[in-house]
Amino acid sequence: MALATYLNKVGGLSYGKIAKLLEQMTGLRVARSTLCRALQRAASKSQPIYDECVESLRKSPVVYPDESGWRIGGLGAWLWAFTNRRETVYSIQRGRGFAEAASVLGKDYAGTLVADGWAPYRRFTAATHQTCLAHLLRRCSEMLETAQGGAVRFPRRVQEILRAALSVRDRREAAEISPHGVRVAKGRLAAQMDRLLSGRITHEGNRRLAKHLRRNQNALFVFLDRDDIEATNWPAEHAIRPAVVNRKSCGGNRTPRGATTQAVLMSLLRTCQQREINSLSALTTILRSAKTASCELLSAQ
């Protein structure tokens, strides 16, 4: 059961392929429906660990969220990923709004969110926000590919300021600049961005970018104040990538119950990877345990 769970949720193999593999490797014949029920049982046994990971995320000082398309019964849905250094929680839901994000993080989440600028994240009013600089830099690069004449000046200048901020971060990490120097550099960068956004902008594409930057202006350089947060939301993108690969293999889930099973088991397996725990051993222990599973069980691995 543990191996089948890993092959399906990490490897992206279908139940039919897993059944054939088990028969060829071990001589064990098992129906696809049996594998489906086995994974549902594994998810049910792992649910308490999933719930503990959700509670841990809600207390986490930093969370990196992201979302991607999914399918439930052939209809559109969304796969949410919330991660930090210790755990990852996936949630598959019909919507892509604040209510869905808050169902995992809690509407009063008061830590720091490092996100890609998706508007619903700004509704976490108690949280500190750091917008992803990588998304902004990519957006500027895409604009510069087609911009002509004077329209190139604004995105190019935005790139220069953001890259300068990343350079300050790199110098801080290399101990080449003092904390006071970082604060001074941040102040100068913020002033440069403020002057840029206060200017007259006529190009429509540049105006849209400027509007986005003004909306997130206080979330551009938070990472320079703290060394415990990233300048981008790469941890969330890294967490969501294997789930997207899995989606391309299976196409999504047929039922809401299947979506719940998917989210719980992917969360468990990803969290095991983050904590350098053997996921097959952890799953085997969970399935054999007569007691209610908890995160303490993972710690014992």
The token pair that represents 262 in the structure block: 């998917």
Side chain identity at residue 121, one-letter code = Y
- Beta-strand pair 62-72/75-83: antiparallel
Three-state SS string over 270-299 comes to HHHHHCCCCHHHHHHHHHHCCCCCCHHHHH
The alpha carbons of the chain give a radius of gyration, in whole angstroms, of 22
Strand partners, 113: 63, 129
Which pLDDT value is given to residue 292? 59
The pTM for the full model equals 0.91
Which pLDDT value is given to residue 294? 62
Mean pLDDT for back-to-back runs of 10 residues, the chain (301 residues): 92 92 93 94 95 96 96 93 96 95 96 94 96 96 93 96 98 96 97 95 94 96 96 94 80 91 96 94 90 60 52
Which pLDDT value is given to residue 295? 62
- How far is the C-alpha of 88 from the C-alpha of 266, rounded, in Å? 9
Which pLDDT value is given to residue 220? 97
